[in-house]
Amino acid sequence: MNVPFRAFALPLLSLVLILPGLADKPSDDPLANFLGKLGYERVPLKRDTRTNLEHPGEGNNLYLDARVDGRKQKWLLDTGFSITCFDRPAGKRYQTLAELGHPIDDPVLGTISDTNFVLIRELQLGPMRLTNQPAQVKDLGNRWSYTEMDAVLGMDLLRRHHAVIDFLGKNLFLRAEEPDEKTAKLFDASLRHSRWIAMPTTESGFCNYVRTSIRAEPLRLLVDSGADFTKLDLAVAKRLGLKPEDTRLTSRGIEDRAAKSFSARVPLMVMPGLAFTNVPVLVSDMTLWQPKGGEPIDGLIGADWLAVYEAVLDCQTGQLYLRPPARPKK
């Protein structure tokens, strides 16, 4: 199936204006209502809308308001982060598990007693009150120079609480107990019936990767809602014969890692059950963000693409659902 990438017909630098302009789903959201009947609790997400061309990239990431042991905080939702993490100014008031002499057994992370882990006694996300949640503490640098965030909500917590994320509808759904087989099948069947296409992923470090190919070369893309834009590694882009062009953008990550970004267009990108033509992407040297050991990352599926294709991620199963734009009636 050849699906045109119509949502990105504008020049690349104007992409920063697209996501805030995408209309929010109405309050009577069929997906939210359906998941509510399956026992999921809705946690509303927000998208930073202070977008201007002096700070390109703002407006794409999703965050949520949290209460941490009674204190209000802003948390970034980042599916590219393996482990939930406090920025050091927010996390320094906690004693580490090593200082407490109190290791914990976590269903996702296993036994933890590290010096860079702390324990959140009570974490409130929307209507959900979660107790004894582990989190790392790191120097995240000025990653969020335009929106101050206290922490990153990572894949460990999302898996621990059986999360489903609706990236366009700006909703996070959590469940107290793991869905049984009947509930999981009902959820999957409902999305497929509503034109979502199920995209199998592989897992590494709790994060999800999609297998794709460009010009018949197999690639591995990280599902990364913390990335403003969909991106390819510079070495990969050059190997594929793409022609990166200069931009004013700089890709930034934790600990002040940064690399210049270029723009390029991919003639054809193929995923299981889907094909995309004339795809605009950013291109950056991703050496600083490569995992230690294991397969390298060839690129990222970023927040822009996840919104435009109405992506839904089932963090429990790792299944990613995409819904391509409906074809106009002839």
Contact 86, 136 (CB under 8 A): yes
State the DSSP string of 184-235. Answer: HHHHHHHHHHTT-EEE--EEETTEEEEEEEETTEEEEEEE-TTSSS-EEEHH
pLDDT at 320 over 90: yes
Q: Which residue bears the tokens 């979502």?
A: 196
Token pair in block for residue 99:
């200082």
Band (pLDDT 50/70/90 cuts) for residue 248 is: confident
- Please give the mean pLDDT across all residues of the chain: 84
The pLDDT value recorded for residue 189 is 95
Band (pLDDT 50/70/90 cuts) for residue 246 is: confident
Band (pLDDT 50/70/90 cuts) for residue 327 is: low
State the DSSP string of 38-81. Answer: TTPEEEE-EE-----TTSTTTT--EEEEEEETTEEEEEEE-TT-
pLDDT at 17 over 70: no
Residues above pLDDT 90, as percent of the chain: 60
**Structural domains for the chain:** 3-21+197-322 (2.40.70.10), 30-183 (2.40.70.10)
The pLDDT value recorded for residue 51 is 44
pLDDT at 145 over 50: no
- Digit-coded pLDDT (tens) for 198-238: 999 999 989 999 999 999 999 999 999 988 889 999 999 99
pLDDT at 283 over 90: yes
The C-alpha atoms of residue 87 and residue 42 are separated, in whole angstroms, by 25
